[in-house]
């Protein structure tokens, strides 16, 4: 799988924060953009668009790249804005269209089928009013068919002048190119307008792409957008899919297609061609419900029976594979993915039920039917009881009945396949949830450990303070006694328990001036017969509150006046 780091491309240019002057930078970019098409500095990369039912790439988005000899690689998000401001986007956009059409035609010639290439169209090109003509001319010039091209427009193009936008889109639709609404959800789209426009695909912005760890409300929004688009007969493509979890959630919510680093970053045309010829790199388990052609295996040693069955079932739309013996039947099963098997019972070499028993062991998901003129009750009953046979049908058969039985067998198979797929999905989602829960638990445990450590530290610090051999009293902002150490308790033993009491009421009168003494000042005072040097400190108690610490250092007995 491709990671987002792998996908990162070098867009050097100057980083925005390093630019001394954004206006000067824009002027440089605008100047360098002049005649950029003629100088051959532009190129296109292509990012695969993947069908979420089959996992196959059905199209690509063409993404413009500019490599300037002076500025290096400049990001499209930077230079396209400048090109739009200066009008240079018109020749650039035309070049993009022509190059994309030529590439689509080249891919068709190279045998890549109808790989659709979608191009981004700027509001400036759109506003010019002759986009359909431009598209037509590009298709003709490249000898490409309209079905190979798509255009991506943005919501802003629909807001300015809806009637004009509708005319332009209908003209494009008349040609036959696919129309996608890009970055859906980032701009202002009036839904009542949207449903009147000929839009084929809604590309939901990556901010709507979540995985199983997302809040349910976020997932509900994505699901609502998909449902809304489907009810307007539009397809939905999710942009910026970076993880398997995101893709799994989109598959579960019936999103039609995706694009993003998880499937592939934007790559060169040659790379698209190479990937087209390789099997999909995406995990197959998500796409097993893909409607593929139903496959029926007919096994009978009599050629005439096989021929008659073929004729009878020809119109059923099945792919039919045949074998003249059980051994050959096993060979066919290894070659193709068979859904339903219809086998004769009496065949030389291997009896039908024995063949179906082997088939059950090797391919348990197949639906197995015996079609026989001989009713060897014992062996047939045994095979049915073991589950090796789904149905026993007799020769000569009634055409309609046999057709109905085979059709029913395919339905059974597809229902079972769908159940297996859903089971796998639920299992994957559960595993991911369990992993998330585990991570959460680890975080909580670490936090708990941190808190208990800091609690142990504060308890020790408090104990140290309590044992300091100098009387200390702490008074909080509300005038409440918050701390008394052992020496203070001994010194003020006559006052009773002090902790939690109002300092003004609990402390001896002689000590009260200390509560109002400016920070850091010292005063001598008598506490009973003892002379103390007291000082007061304002201490930061955290969270912006302060507390006052009174320190009393005994200096000796008071000397009574002679
Ligand atoms: P966009 O049309 O929405 O194209 C998708 C952007 O997302 C591309 O950026 C693509 O490289 C990036 N991307 C793809 N997958 C992922 C992913 O999984 N995660 C993240 N974070 N990003 C992903 P890029 O190529 O830099 O293009 C930016 C924008 O520039 C495009 O957004 C489009 O609006 C504009 N642009 C690109 N080429 C053209 C063009 O030929 N003509 C016009 N008018 N605009 C273009
Ligand atoms: Mg786009
Ligand atoms: Mg986009």
Same domain, 254 and 299: no
Same domain, 331 and 357: yes
Same domain, 528 and 387: no
Report the share of the chain in percent with pLDDT over 90.
55
Same domain, 235 and 303: no
Long-range contacts of 385-392 (CB under 8 A, 24+ apart): 386/357, 386/360, 387/360, 388/353, 388/356, 388/357, 388/359, 388/360, 389/353, 389/356
Per-residue confidence (pLDDT) for residue 238, from 0 to 100: 97
The 340-343 sheet, strands edge to edge: 319-323, 295-299, 340-343, 367-372, 391-394
Per-residue confidence (pLDDT) for residue 17, from 0 to 100: 47
**Cβ 123 under 6 angstroms from ligand 1:** no
The closest residue, in CA terms, to atom 45 on ligand 1 is: 120
Residue 288, in any domain of the structure: no
Residue 431, in any domain of the structure: no
The pLDDT tens digits of the residues spanning 457-492 come to 989 988 998 999 999 999 998 999 999 999 999 999
Place of tokens 């998909």: 226
Distance 203 CA to ligand 2 centre (A): 8
For residue 12, is pLDDT > 70? no
What is the count of structural domains for the chain?
A: 3
Same domain, 251 and 338: no
CATH code, 545? 3.30.450.20
Same domain, 124 and 170: yes
Domain of residue 206 covers 4-8+45-65+87-279
Band of pLDDT at residue 3, cut at 50, 70 and 90? very low
Mean pLDDT for 234-245 is: 93
Q: Of all atoms in ligand 1, which is nearest to the CA of residue 241?
A: 18
Distance, in Å, from the CA atom of 135 to the CA atom of 145, rounded to the nearest integer, reads: 11
The closest residue, in CA terms, to atom 14 on ligand 1 is: 260
* Angle CA 453–459–460, to nearest 5: 90
Distance 23 CA to ligand 3 centre (A): 26
**Cβ 261 under 6 angstroms from ligand 1:** yes
Cβ 314 vs Cβ 328: under 8 Å: no
The pLDDT tens digits of the residues spanning 483-526 come to 999 999 999 998 999 999 999 999 998 888 888 888 888 999 88
| 293 contacts: CB under 8 Å, gap ≥ 6 | 317, 318, 319
For residue 396, is pLDDT > 70? yes
Extended beta strands in 433-506, E state = 472-475, 481-484
Mean pLDDT for 306-321 is: 92
CATH code, 146? 3.20.20.450
Which among 372, 390, 413 is the end of a domain? 413
Same domain, 163 and 269: yes
Residue 546, in any domain of the structure: yes
For residue 217, is pLDDT > 50? yes
Mean pLDDT for 6-19 is: 47
Length of the chain: 562
Is the pTM here over 0.95, yes or no? no
Band of pLDDT at residue 6, cut at 50, 70 and 90? very low
- Pick the more confident residue, 249 or 15: 249
| 256 contacts: CB under 8 Å, gap ≥ 6 | 51, 52, 53, 201, 235, 236, 237
The pLDDT tens digits of the residues spanning 106-158 come to 999 998 877 899 999 999 998 887 899 999 999 999 999 998 999 999 988 88
Beta bridge partners of 116: 59
Per-residue confidence (pLDDT) for residue 291, from 0 to 100: 59
Report the share of the chain in percent with pLDDT over 70.
94
Neighbours of 149 (CB within 10 A): 27
The pLDDT tens digits of the residues spanning 330-389 come to 999 888 889 999 999 999 999 999 999 999 888 889 999 999 887 677 778 888 887 888
The pLDDT tens digits of the residues spanning 176-215 come to 899 999 999 887 777 778 888 999 999 999 998 987 667 7
Q: Of all atoms in ligand 1, which is nearest to the CA of residue 64?
A: 38
Distance 67 CA to ligand 1 centre (A): 16
Mean pLDDT for 430-447 is: 85
| Exposed e or buried b per residue across 352-376, where buried means at least 16 C-beta atoms within 10 angstroms of its C-beta | bbbbbbbbbeebeebbbbbbbeeee
Distance 73 CA to ligand 1 centre (A): 15
Quick one: tokens of 452?
């208990």
Distance 181 CA to ligand 2 centre (A): 8
Mean pLDDT for 440-464 is: 91
Per-residue confidence (pLDDT) for residue 9, from 0 to 100: 56
Residue 266, in any domain of the structure: yes
**Cβ 122 under 6 angstroms from ligand 1:** yes
Q: Of all atoms in ligand 1, which is nearest to the CA of residue 154?
A: 34
Residue 198, in any domain of the structure: yes
Same domain, 100 and 249: yes
For residue 248, is pLDDT > 70? yes
């Amino acid at each position: 799988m491709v990671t987002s780091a792998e996908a990162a491309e070098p867009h050097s240019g100057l980083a925005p924060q390093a630019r001394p002057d954004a206006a000067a930078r824009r002027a440089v970019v605008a100047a360098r953009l002049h005649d950029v098409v003629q100088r051959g500095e532009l190129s296109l990369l292509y990012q695969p668009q993947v069908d979420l039912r089959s996992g196959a790439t059905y199209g690509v988005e063409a993404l413009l790249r500019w490599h300037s000899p002076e500025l290096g690689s400049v990001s499209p998000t930077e230079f396209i804005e400048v090109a739009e401001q200066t009008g240079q986007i018109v020749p650039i956009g035309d070049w993009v269209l022509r190059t994309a059409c030529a590439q689509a035609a080249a891919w068709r010639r190279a045998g890549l089928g109808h790989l659709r290439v979608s191009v981004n169209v700027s509001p400036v090109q759109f506003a010019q009013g002759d986009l359909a003509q431009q598209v037509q001319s590009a298709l003709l010039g490249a000898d490409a068919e309209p079905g190979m091209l798509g255009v991506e427009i943005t919501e802003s193009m629909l807001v300015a002048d809806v009637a004009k936008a509708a005319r332009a889109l209908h003209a494009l639709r008349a040609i036959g190119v696919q129309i996608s609404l890009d970055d859906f959800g980032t701009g202002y789209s009036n839904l009542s307008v949207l449903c009147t426009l000929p839009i084929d695909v809604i590309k939901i912005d990556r901010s709507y792409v979540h995985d199983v760890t997302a809040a349910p409300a976020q997932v509900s929004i994505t699901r609502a957008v998909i449902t809304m688009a489907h009810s307007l007969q539009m397809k939905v493509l999710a942009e910026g899919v970076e993880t398997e979890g995101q893709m799994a959630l989109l598959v579960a919510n019936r999103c039609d297609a995706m694009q993003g680093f998880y499937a592939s970053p934007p790559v060169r045309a040659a790379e698209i061609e190479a990937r087209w010829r390789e099997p999909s790199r995406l995990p197959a388990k998500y796409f097993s419900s893909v409607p593929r052609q139903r496959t029926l295996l007919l096994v009978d040693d009599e050629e005439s029976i096989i021929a008659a069955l073929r004729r009878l079932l020809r119109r059923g739309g099945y792919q039919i594979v045949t074998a003249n013996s059980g051994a050959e039947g096993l060979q066919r099963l290894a070659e193709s993915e068979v859904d339903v098997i219809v086998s004769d019972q009496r065949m030389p070499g291997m009896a039908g039920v024995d063949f179906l028993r082997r088939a059950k062991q090797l391919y348990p998901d197949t639906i197995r039917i015996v079609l026989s003129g001989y009713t060897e009750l014992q062996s047939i009953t045994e095979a049915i009881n073991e589950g090796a046979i789904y149905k026993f049908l007799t020769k000569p058969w009634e055409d309609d009945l046999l057709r109905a039985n085979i059709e029913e067998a395919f339905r059974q198979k597809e229902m079972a396949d769908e159940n297996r797929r859903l089971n796998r999905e639920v299992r994957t989602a559960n595993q991911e949830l369990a992993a998330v829960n585990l991570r959460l638990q680890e975080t909580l445990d670490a936090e708990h450990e941190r808190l208990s450590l800091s609690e142990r530290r504060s308890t020790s610090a408090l104990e140290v303070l309590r044992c300091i051999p100098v009387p200390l009293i702490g008074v909080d902002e509300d005038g409440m006694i918050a701390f008394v150490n052992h020496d203070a308790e001994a010194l003020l033993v006559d006052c009773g328990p002090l902790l939690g009491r109002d300092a003004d009421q609990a402390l001896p009168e002689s000590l009260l001036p200390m509560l109002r003494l400016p920070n850091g000042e010292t005063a001598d005072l008598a506490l009973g017969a003892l002379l103390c040097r007291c000082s007061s400190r304002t201490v930061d108690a955290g969270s912006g509150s302060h507390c006052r610490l009174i320190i009393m250092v005994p200096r000796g007995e008071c000397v009574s006046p002679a």
